Amino acid sequence: PVPPPFQGPVRIALLEGRGRGLVASRDVAAGETLLVSHAFATGDLRSLVPAVIKRIERPGAEGGASPLETERFLHLFDGANDGELPPAGLFPSEGGAAVVTDEQTRRAQAQPLKERWERFKRIVVLNSHDLSDIHAQAGGEGDFVGIWVLPAFMNHSCRPSALSFHHGAEVMVFRAARDLREGEEVTDTYTNLFRPREERQADLLAQKGFRCNCQRCAVEAGLHEDAVGG
Protein backbone atom coordinates (compact mmCIF):
# COMPACT_ATOMS: atom_id res chain seq x y z
CA PRO A 1 0.00 0.00 0.00
CA VAL A 2 1.06 3.58 -0.65
CA PRO A 3 1.95 5.33 2.65
CA PRO A 4 0.04 8.54 3.38
CA PRO A 5 1.86 11.89 3.72
CA PHE A 6 3.61 12.16 7.08
CA GLN A 7 5.86 14.71 8.78
CA GLY A 8 7.71 13.05 11.61
CA PRO A 9 10.28 14.50 14.03
CA VAL A 10 11.62 17.24 11.74
CA ARG A 11 11.18 20.99 11.52
CA ILE A 12 12.43 23.80 9.30
CA ALA A 13 15.15 25.98 10.83
CA LEU A 14 17.64 28.69 9.90
CA LEU A 15 21.16 27.27 9.97
CA GLU A 16 24.29 29.39 10.22
CA GLY A 17 26.02 29.59 6.87
CA ARG A 18 23.54 27.20 5.23
CA GLY A 19 20.28 29.12 5.06
CA ARG A 20 17.14 27.12 5.70
CA GLY A 21 17.22 23.41 6.37
CA LEU A 22 15.54 20.57 8.22
CA VAL A 23 16.60 19.58 11.73
CA ALA A 24 15.47 16.84 14.09
CA SER A 25 12.79 18.12 16.47
CA ARG A 26 13.79 15.49 19.06
CA ASP A 27 16.30 12.67 19.42
CA VAL A 28 15.80 10.18 16.58
CA ALA A 29 16.97 6.57 16.32
CA ALA A 30 18.63 5.23 13.17
CA GLY A 31 16.03 3.82 10.79
CA GLU A 32 13.13 5.89 12.16
CA THR A 33 10.80 7.40 9.55
CA LEU A 34 11.38 11.13 9.27
CA LEU A 35 8.84 12.01 6.62
CA VAL A 36 6.73 10.70 3.76
CA SER A 37 6.19 13.13 0.91
CA HIS A 38 3.86 12.93 -2.07
CA ALA A 39 4.92 14.83 -5.18
CA PHE A 40 3.46 18.27 -5.83
CA ALA A 41 4.10 17.66 -9.53
CA THR A 42 6.21 15.36 -11.71
CA GLY A 43 7.16 15.20 -15.38
CA ASP A 44 10.00 15.71 -17.80
CA LEU A 45 12.02 18.92 -17.79
CA ARG A 46 9.77 20.64 -20.33
CA SER A 47 6.42 19.70 -18.79
CA LEU A 48 7.12 20.23 -15.08
CA VAL A 49 6.79 24.02 -15.00
CA PRO A 50 3.47 24.02 -16.96
CA ALA A 51 2.19 21.25 -14.65
CA VAL A 52 3.00 23.34 -11.58
CA ILE A 53 1.39 26.47 -13.06
CA LYS A 54 -1.74 24.50 -13.95
CA ARG A 55 -2.08 23.07 -10.42
CA ILE A 56 -1.73 26.49 -8.79
CA GLU A 57 -3.72 28.60 -11.22
CA ARG A 58 -6.69 26.20 -11.35
CA PRO A 59 -7.33 25.28 -7.71
CA GLY A 60 -10.93 24.25 -8.31
CA ALA A 61 -10.19 22.01 -11.29
CA GLU A 62 -9.43 18.30 -11.09
CA GLY A 63 -5.85 17.91 -9.88
CA GLY A 64 -5.70 21.53 -8.73
CA ALA A 65 -3.66 22.34 -5.64
CA SER A 66 -5.36 22.94 -2.31
CA PRO A 67 -4.74 26.26 -0.50
CA LEU A 68 -2.37 24.44 1.88
CA GLU A 69 -0.42 22.83 -0.96
CA THR A 70 -0.09 26.14 -2.79
CA GLU A 71 1.05 28.05 0.27
CA ARG A 72 3.66 25.40 1.10
CA PHE A 73 4.96 25.41 -2.48
CA LEU A 74 5.29 29.19 -2.49
CA HIS A 75 7.51 29.07 0.62
CA LEU A 76 10.14 27.05 -1.25
CA PHE A 77 13.42 28.75 -2.16
CA ASP A 78 12.92 31.19 -5.04
CA GLY A 79 16.43 32.65 -5.10
CA ALA A 80 15.70 35.48 -2.67
CA ASN A 81 13.90 34.10 0.40
CA ASP A 82 16.44 31.79 2.01
CA GLY A 83 16.47 33.80 5.25
CA GLU A 84 12.70 33.58 5.73
CA LEU A 85 11.14 30.81 7.77
CA PRO A 86 7.62 29.61 6.88
CA PRO A 87 5.00 29.99 9.62
CA ALA A 88 5.47 27.17 12.14
CA GLY A 89 1.91 25.94 11.69
CA LEU A 90 2.35 25.43 7.97
CA PHE A 91 4.57 22.37 8.48
CA PRO A 92 3.56 20.81 11.83
CA SER A 93 5.63 17.83 12.97
CA GLU A 94 4.41 14.46 14.18
CA GLY A 95 0.74 14.64 13.37
CA GLY A 96 0.03 18.24 14.35
CA ALA A 97 -2.78 20.05 12.56
CA ALA A 98 -1.61 22.38 9.79
CA VAL A 99 -2.63 26.02 10.03
CA VAL A 100 -3.43 27.27 6.53
CA THR A 101 -2.27 30.80 5.80
CA ASP A 102 -2.58 32.64 2.49
CA GLU A 103 0.27 35.16 2.86
CA GLN A 104 2.35 33.89 -0.07
CA THR A 105 -0.71 33.08 -2.17
CA ARG A 106 -1.98 36.67 -1.89
CA ARG A 107 1.52 37.98 -2.65
CA ALA A 108 1.73 35.82 -5.78
CA GLN A 109 -1.74 36.81 -6.97
CA ALA A 110 -0.78 40.47 -6.66
CA GLN A 111 2.12 40.01 -9.08
CA PRO A 112 1.72 40.49 -12.85
CA LEU A 113 1.07 37.14 -14.53
CA LYS A 114 4.46 36.95 -16.28
CA GLU A 115 6.34 37.84 -13.10
CA ARG A 116 4.34 35.29 -11.12
CA TRP A 117 5.03 32.51 -13.59
CA GLU A 118 8.75 33.40 -13.64
CA ARG A 119 8.80 32.95 -9.87
CA PHE A 120 7.10 29.55 -10.20
CA LYS A 121 9.76 28.58 -12.75
CA ARG A 122 12.59 29.61 -10.41
CA ILE A 123 11.08 27.57 -7.60
CA VAL A 124 10.85 24.51 -9.85
CA VAL A 125 14.42 24.85 -11.13
CA LEU A 126 15.89 25.41 -7.66
CA ASN A 127 13.92 22.73 -5.82
CA SER A 128 13.27 19.84 -8.21
CA HIS A 129 14.56 16.31 -7.64
CA ASP A 130 15.97 14.45 -10.64
CA LEU A 131 14.75 10.84 -10.62
CA SER A 132 15.68 9.97 -14.19
CA ASP A 133 17.77 6.98 -13.07
CA ILE A 134 14.86 5.46 -11.12
CA HIS A 135 12.50 6.26 -13.99
CA ALA A 136 14.77 4.39 -16.40
CA GLN A 137 15.01 1.38 -14.07
CA ALA A 138 11.21 1.19 -14.11
CA GLY A 139 11.22 1.08 -17.93
CA GLY A 140 10.58 4.77 -18.53
CA GLU A 141 12.28 6.84 -21.20
CA GLY A 142 13.75 10.33 -21.06
CA ASP A 143 14.28 12.55 -18.04
CA PHE A 144 11.98 12.56 -15.01
CA VAL A 145 11.92 15.27 -12.35
CA GLY A 146 9.54 16.30 -9.62
CA ILE A 147 8.79 18.63 -6.72
CA TRP A 148 8.50 17.17 -3.23
CA VAL A 149 7.90 20.18 -1.01
CA LEU A 150 9.20 19.36 2.47
CA PRO A 151 12.21 17.34 1.20
CA ALA A 152 13.17 20.39 -0.88
CA PHE A 153 14.06 22.17 2.37
CA MET A 154 16.83 19.63 3.03
CA ASN A 155 20.37 20.77 2.39
CA HIS A 156 22.88 18.57 0.59
CA SER A 157 25.62 16.43 2.08
CA CYS A 158 27.78 13.72 0.52
CA ARG A 159 27.34 11.95 3.88
CA PRO A 160 23.59 12.53 4.34
CA SER A 161 21.89 11.93 7.66
CA ALA A 162 18.71 10.72 5.90
CA LEU A 163 18.17 8.01 3.32
CA SER A 164 15.36 8.16 0.76
CA PHE A 165 13.22 5.34 -0.56
CA HIS A 166 10.62 5.48 -3.33
CA HIS A 167 7.12 4.08 -3.62
CA GLY A 168 6.55 4.35 -7.34
CA ALA A 169 7.28 7.66 -9.01
CA GLU A 170 5.21 9.89 -6.72
CA VAL A 171 6.09 9.05 -3.11
CA MET A 172 9.38 9.57 -1.26
CA VAL A 173 10.08 8.16 2.20
CA PHE A 174 12.99 9.41 4.30
CA ARG A 175 14.48 7.50 7.23
CA ALA A 176 17.28 8.45 9.61
CA ALA A 177 20.59 7.08 8.32
CA ARG A 178 22.04 7.20 11.85
CA ASP A 179 21.07 8.31 15.34
CA LEU A 180 20.28 12.05 15.38
CA ARG A 181 20.24 14.39 18.33
CA GLU A 182 17.57 17.06 18.73
CA GLY A 183 18.54 20.06 16.59
CA GLU A 184 20.92 18.06 14.36
CA GLU A 185 20.55 18.80 10.67
CA VAL A 186 18.69 16.33 8.47
CA THR A 187 20.46 16.22 5.11
CA ASP A 188 19.81 14.61 1.74
CA THR A 189 22.06 14.17 -1.28
CA TYR A 190 21.64 15.95 -4.60
CA THR A 191 24.09 13.75 -6.51
CA ASN A 192 25.27 10.17 -7.01
CA LEU A 193 27.26 9.29 -3.90
CA PHE A 194 29.12 6.48 -5.66
CA ARG A 195 30.94 8.97 -7.88
CA PRO A 196 34.41 10.23 -6.94
CA ARG A 197 34.62 13.65 -5.32
CA GLU A 198 35.62 15.51 -8.51
CA GLU A 199 32.58 14.19 -10.39
CA ARG A 200 30.21 14.94 -7.50
CA GLN A 201 31.51 18.49 -7.30
CA ALA A 202 31.13 19.02 -11.05
CA ASP A 203 27.58 17.64 -10.99
CA LEU A 204 26.55 19.83 -8.04
CA LEU A 205 28.06 22.92 -9.65
CA ALA A 206 26.24 22.27 -12.93
CA GLN A 207 22.95 21.22 -11.33
CA LYS A 208 22.68 23.48 -8.27
CA GLY A 209 25.41 26.10 -8.64
CA PHE A 210 27.55 25.29 -5.61
CA ARG A 211 30.54 23.23 -4.51
CA CYS A 212 30.11 20.89 -1.56
CA ASN A 213 32.31 21.39 1.51
CA CYS A 214 30.83 18.61 3.66
CA GLN A 215 32.96 16.45 5.95
CA ARG A 216 33.28 13.66 3.40
CA CYS A 217 34.45 16.02 0.67
CA ALA A 218 36.98 17.60 3.03
CA VAL A 219 38.41 14.20 3.98
CA GLU A 220 38.58 13.04 0.36
CA ALA A 221 40.25 16.31 -0.69
CA GLY A 222 42.85 15.81 2.02
CA LEU A 223 43.53 12.25 0.90
CA HIS A 224 43.94 13.44 -2.69
CA GLU A 225 46.41 16.15 -1.64
CA ASP A 226 48.40 13.62 0.41
CA ALA A 227 48.51 11.24 -2.56
CA VAL A 228 49.62 13.97 -4.98
CA GLY A 229 52.10 15.37 -2.50
CA GLY A 230 53.48 11.90 -1.81
Q: Amino acid identity of 99?
A: V
pLDDT beyond 70 at 63: yes
Give the strand order in the sheet containing 185-188.
10-15, 19-24, 185-188, 155-156
What global pTM score does this model have?
0.86
Q: Amino acid identity of 124?
A: V
pLDDT in tens, 17-32: 888 999 999 999 999 9
How many residues comprise the chain? 230
* Listed range (90-94, 101-105, 120-124, 172-176) with the worst mean pLDDT: 101-105
**What is the CB-side half-sphere exposure of residue 82 using CA atoms within 13 A?**
14
DSSP assignment of 158-198, as one string?
Answer: SS-SEEEEEETTTEEEEEESS-B-TT-EEEE-SS-TTS-HH
Distance CA 146, CA 163 (A): 18
Number of CB atoms found within 10 A of residue 27's CB: 13
Q: Report the interhelical angle of 48-57 vs 113-127 (nearest 10°).
A: 130
pLDDT beyond 60 at 85: yes
β-strand 162-167 against 171-176: which pairing, if any?
A: antiparallel
pLDDT in tens, 143-174: 788 999 999 999 888 789 999 998 888 899 99
Distance CA 54, CA 75 (A): 18
Query: Which of 69-83, 96-110, 189-203 is the most confident on average?
Result: 69-83
Q: Which one-letter DSSP state was computed for residue 123?
A: H
Q: What percent of the chain has pLDDT over 70?
A: 90
Q: What percent of the chain has pLDDT over 90?
A: 49
